Structure 1
Amino acid sequence: MEFDVTVEIPQGSRNKYEMDHTLERIRLDRLLFTSTKYPADYGYIDHTLGRDGDPLDALVLVGEPTFPGCVILCRAVGMFVMRDEKGPDEKILCVPAHDPRYGGVQDIGDVPEFDRLEITHFFEVYKDLEPGKSVEGSHWEGRDQAYAEIEEARRRAAQAPAPGASA
């Protein structure tokens, strides 16, 4: 399964950008309070709704950072599962769908251990200095669980009321 990921934050950035879906523009949300930097391009999978009420988060392993608003055709290789101050928060780990550098990366076990450790460390500490924000517990799941979560997030998005519709 291939899908589009819209990049909000390029790899190596401390700026936390978010798509303002009302304005259809990228907005600077904040500068990370810690000295950590995003370990991969970070954004969301189009036409999904995560359990946190936002589009499903995605990390894309890229050789070079892209830019906010860039759309990358991807495939999933795993899923990082964590809990923050708002509740469960899944992040789909992806690679560019047709990049030969990632042809051998098919499932989470194919991602170098150091890369997984770096991503885990980032998400465990990136909110440490922010008042009212927290991260507790995290673990990795494989490609099949990632695709199951994407399908569930697509169902949630399809069943969600249209923006501006009254409940």
Structure 2
Amino acid sequence: MELLATIEIPRGSRNKYEVDHETGRVKLDRYLFTSMQYPADYGFIEDTLGNDGDPLDVLVLLTEPLFPGVQVDVRPIGMFQMEDEAGGDDKVLAVPAGDPRWDSYQDIADVNQFTLDEIEHFFTRYKDLEPGKFVKGSNWVGRAEAEAEVNASIERFKSSDH
């Protein structure tokens, strides 16, 4: 399965950018309250609708960070399941499609455990200092579950008023 992802936040940033889906422009939503940085490039999968009413989130493992607004073809290899104050907020974990450096990454088990721990640590704690925000529950699942959620998110998008 190959998908088109739009990067909103590059790895290493504390700036929380979001794409305004009406204008297509990138806007600074906030600067993270904690001293943490995004552990991977972060954005969304085009033409999807997640359980939180926004496009399905994606983390892309890359050799070099990209820029906000850049689109990249990706392959999902797993998913981090979590909930925040808005409800279900799953994060698909993906790698660049067609890049031989990532050919050996086919499922979540192919990712170094430290990398998974780092991502989990970030997403379970990055809202700690923000009033009224929280994260609860966290679980890693493999490629099959990630692809099933992507397909469900595509169907939600098609049946919405996008």
Bin of the TM-score, shorter chain as denominator length: over 0.9
Residues in 1 aligned to 2:67 and 2:147: alpha-carbon distance in whole angstroms: 25
Unmatched runs of 5 consecutive residues or more in structure 1: 163-167
Sequence identity percentage: 57
Q: How many residues align?
A: 162
Superposition RMSD in Å: 0.6
1:19-73 superposed Cα distances (whole Å, 9 cap, x missing partner): 0011210000000000000000000000000010000000000011000011010
Answering whether residue 12 of structure 2 is matched by residue 31 of structure 1, we say no
Partner of 1:120: 120
Residues in 1 aligned to 2:33 and 2:76: alpha-carbon distance in whole angstroms: 29
User: 1:30 is matched by which residue type in structure 2?
Assistant: R
Answering whether residue 86 of structure 2 is matched by residue 82 of structure 1, we say no
Partner of 2:142: 142
The structural deviation recorded for 1:145 is: 0.3
Q: TM-score, normalised by structure 2?
A: 0.99
User: 1:23 is matched by which residue type in structure 2?
Assistant: T
Answering whether residue 28 of structure 2 is matched by residue 10 of structure 1, we say no
The structural deviation recorded for 1:101 is: 1.2
The structural deviation recorded for 1:117 is: 0.2
Partner of 1:159: 159
Partner of 1:50: 50
The structural deviation recorded for 1:161 is: 1.6
Unmatched runs of 5 consecutive residues or more in structure 2: none
Answering whether residue 68 of structure 2 is matched by residue 68 of structure 1, we say yes
Q: Which runs of 4+ in 1 moved over 2 A?
A: none
